[in-house]
């Protein structure tokens, strides 16, 4: 964990003018805020949206396009405009900006993720601000992050940041979208993102935003799991960003007591593709979540999907709630035969290289954050 390293994510809603299009004054304002942080000794990675918003007006679309290829075309034009604007406002302070475009696949491949990490490390060492966005041109529909909230959380974990600041047009999470209910009340601090917390979050509030509060909660969860404290809120007045980093921001803080995840476990938890699902009983649930134990055949209730030793499976409890993911040591047929059996009975029945269904070192908890 790097105490002085902050990832700041700025959403389209904070960077666009009323009718769409890039609001350059806003870019200038955020560049000033970043400069203040930099001069105070912080290392900053910026994840910024706004490429589609910046591009579509220039291309003659009346409103933010809906079709993928239109959005990709708008982003290709807008990304250059976006970078140009940040450079223009950062360079006079002697701060260089670097463009980093990433896709989900870059995180799924440990090699590519590592390359991105090494590049960002080098840039930070040189005092450059890496400016990250999704590589919209090559992202295909089902693999897209769609919004940059998730991307920012993955970046925060990748670079072992101490905080993830998600800037949006609303000053935090409310009990309901304040655009719909002005009497909704705000959460100042959240320590656990439960299903109830999720139920308060709605979709995007404007024509330019994408993920709404739901995707910000997804992002906060990923960050918290990686040991990164998160914040969702507004940065509107000079020095707001610094105040926010120091704990006095206008929004909701998401505290975490988790430790940072090693890269292998980040991959397992957030980028791997589970090939099956293993349902466990209450005793196994407690063993996995509270005691950090391995999963043994005795706790397995049922098996779904087809998998082989070394594959990733998702583990759920009897209520269907996801507890985590792990690398399984059995194939699905073998596991069906030994589900619910004690260790001596398993050993009597078949030959296994490891008795654990999932070893604790190859397990990531995704529940109770």
Ligand X SMILES: Nc1ncnc2c1ncn2[C@@H]1O[C@H](COP(=O)(O)OP(=O)(O)O)[C@@H](O)[C@H]1O
**Which residues line the annotated binding site for substrate?**
49, 136, 148
Of 76 and 184, which has the nearer Cβ to ligand X? Answer: 184
> Do 178 and 184 contact (CB within 8 A), yes or no?
yes
CB of 96 to ligand VHF, least distance (A): 21
Structure tokens at 10: 């700025």
Check binding of 205 to ligand X (CB under 6 A): yes
Of 60 and 94, which has the nearer Cβ to ligand VHF? Answer: 60
- Listed ranges 45-53, 87-95, 117-125, 257-265: which one lies at the site for ligand VHF (CB under 6 A): 45-53
Q: Which does 179 bind (CB under 5 to 8 A by kind): ligand VHF, ligand X, none?
A: ligand X
Q: Is 254 helix (H, G, I), strand (E, B) or coil?
A: strand
Binding site for ATP, by residue number, is: 9, 168-169, 210-216
Cα R_g (the chain), whole angstroms: 22
Check binding of 179 to ligand X (CB under 6 A): yes
Of 235 and 245, which has the nearer Cβ to ligand X? Answer: 235
Among positions 112-171, residues that touch ligand VHF (CB under 6 A) are 133-134, 136, 147-149
Check binding of 209 to ligand VHF (CB under 6 A): yes
Check binding of 73 to ligand VHF (CB under 6 A): no
What is the spatial distance between Cα 202 and Cα 133, in angstroms, rounded to a whole number? 23
What is the spatial distance between Cα 322 and Cα 307, in angstroms, rounded to a whole number? 18
Burial label for 360, CB within 10 Å (0-12, 13-18, 19+), is middle
Structure tokens at 173: 């999470």
CB of 85 to ligand VHF, least distance (A): 13
Q: Which among 295, 305, 298, 303 is positioned nearest to 364, based on CA atoms?
A: 295
Check binding of 134 to ligand X (CB under 6 A): no
Of 62 and 351, which has the nearer Cβ to ligand VHF? Answer: 62
- Listed ranges 208-216, 331-339, 351-359, 360-368: which one lies at the site for ligand VHF (CB under 6 A): 208-216
Check binding of 170 to ligand X (CB under 6 A): yes
Check binding of 75 to ligand VHF (CB under 6 A): yes
Give residues with Cβ within 8 angstroms of 319, minimum separation 6: none
Q: Which among 354, 140, 369 is positioned nearest to 270, based on CA atoms?
A: 369
Question: Residue 115 half-sphere exposure, CB side, CA atoms within 13 Å?
Answer: 10
Q: Which residues of 309-325 are buried (b: 16+ CB within 10 A; e: fewer)?
A: eebbbbbbbeeeeebbb
Contacts 24+ apart (CB under 8 A), 39-42: 40/242, 41/4, 42/4, 42/5, 42/6, 42/245
Interface residue with ligand X among 169, 285, 311, 362 (CB under 6 A) is: 169
Of 173 and 323, which has the nearer Cβ to ligand X? Answer: 173
Check binding of 168 to ligand X (CB under 6 A): yes
By the criterion CB under 6 A, which residues form the site for ligand VHF? 11-12, 49-53, 75, 133-134, 136, 147-149, 209-211
Q: Which residues bind ligand X (CB under 6 A)?
A: 11-14, 147, 168-170, 173-174, 176-179, 200-202, 204-206, 209-213
């Amino acid at each position: 964990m790097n105490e002085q390293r902050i990832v700041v994510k700025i959403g389209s809603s904070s960077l666009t003018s009323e009718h769409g299009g890039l609001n350059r004054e806003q870019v200038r304002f955020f560049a000033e805020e970043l400069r203040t942080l930099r001069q105070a000794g912080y290392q900053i990675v910026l994840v910024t949206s706004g490429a589609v918003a910046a591009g579509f007006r220039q291309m003659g679309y009346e409103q933010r396009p809906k079709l993928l290829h239109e959005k990709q075309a708008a982003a290709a034009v807008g990304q250059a405009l976006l970078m140009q604007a940040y450079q223009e406002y950062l360079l006079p302070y002697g701060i260089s900006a670097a463009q980093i475009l990433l896709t989900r696949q870059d995180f799924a491949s440990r090699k590519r993720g590592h390359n991105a990490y090494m590049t960002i490390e080098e840039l930070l060492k040189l005092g450059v601000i890496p400016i990250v966005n999704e590589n919209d041109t090559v992202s295909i529909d089902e693999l897209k992050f769609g919004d940059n909230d998730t991307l920012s959380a993955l970046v925060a974990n990748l670079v072992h940041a101490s905080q993830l600041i998600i800037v949006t047009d609303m000053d935090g999470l409310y009990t309901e979208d304040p655009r719909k209910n002005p009497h909704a009340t705000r959460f100042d601090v959240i320590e656990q993102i439960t299903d109830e917390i999720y139920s308060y979050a709605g979709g995007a509030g404007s024509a330019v935003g994408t993920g709404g509060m739901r995707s910000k909660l997804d992002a906060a969860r990923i960050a918290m799991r990686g040991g990164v404290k998160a914040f969702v809120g507004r940065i509107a007045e000079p020095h707001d960003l610094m105040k926010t980093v120091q704990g006095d921001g206008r929004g909701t803080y998401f505290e975490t007591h988790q430790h940072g995840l090693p890269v292998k476990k980040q991959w397992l938890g957030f980028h791997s593709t589970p090939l099956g699902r293993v349902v466990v009983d209450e005793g196994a649930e407690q063993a996995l979540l509270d005691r950090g134990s391995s999963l043994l055949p005795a706790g397995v209730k049922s098996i779904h999907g087809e998998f082989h030793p070394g594959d990733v499976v998702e583990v759920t409890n009897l209520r269907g709630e996801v507890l985590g993911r792990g690398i399984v040591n059995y194939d699905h047929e073998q596991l069906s035969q030994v589900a619910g059996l004690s260790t001596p009975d398993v050993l009597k029945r078949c030959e296994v290289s490891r008795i654990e269904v999932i070893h604790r070192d190859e397990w990531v908890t995704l529940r109770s954050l």
